[in-house]
Amino acid sequence: MPLLTVDKSRVIAFVFEWDSEPQAPDPPLDQLAAPYLAAGIPIRRLEGYRLVTPQADWQRVWLVELPDLTTAEEWLEVAAATGQADSTMRAFQLTRPWAPAYFASWLAG
């Protein structure tokens, strides 16, 4: 069994979004990343998903991979300052990958 440790080389931010206007189109990923890149925040990965059946408290989730906790805090500051539509609510959660080698072995077979 591999060592079960936290991967401290990256931080993942989950952004759960709910919009009271469900027909609003999702913004393009490059438009979403623009304020962070302009602030000099290196984003390693950005993925966006929309639920097929929206839930009461969220319709979309964005996954943002950042290099470290300091960068994640800077990213949160920019995210909080970035304007959003009045109809959109967001919840943010930060996490680190836990035991990635162990879970990768599940996929290997």
- 64/7: higher pLDDT: 64
Q: Residues of 19-39 as b/e, b for ≥16 C-beta within 10 angstroms?
A: beeeeeeeeeeeebeeebeee
Go through 43-61 and write b for each residue having 16 or more CB atoms within 10 A of its CB, e for each that does not. Answer: beebebeeeeeeeeebbbe
pLDDT tens digits for range 18-75:
877 666 677 777 787 888 888 999 999 999 888 888 777 788 888 999 999 999 999 9
Q: Is 67 left (phi over 0), alpha (psi -120 to 50) or beta?
A: alpha
The arithmetic mean of pLDDT across residues 82-109, rounded, is 78
pLDDT of residue 84 exceeding 70, the answer is no
Contacting residues for 4 by C-beta, under 8 A, at least 6 apart: 98, 99, 102
Tell me if 2 is assigned to some domain.
no
The reported pLDDT for the residue numbered 101 is: 77
What CATH number should be reported for the domain holding residue 67? 3.30.70.260
In a domain, 33, yes or no: yes
pLDDT at residue number 29: 77
Query: What total of structural domains would you count in the chain?
Result: 1
Residue 1: its pLDDT value, please?
Answer: 66
Q: Residue 74 is part of which domain span?
A: 11-108
pTM of the predicted protein model: 0.78
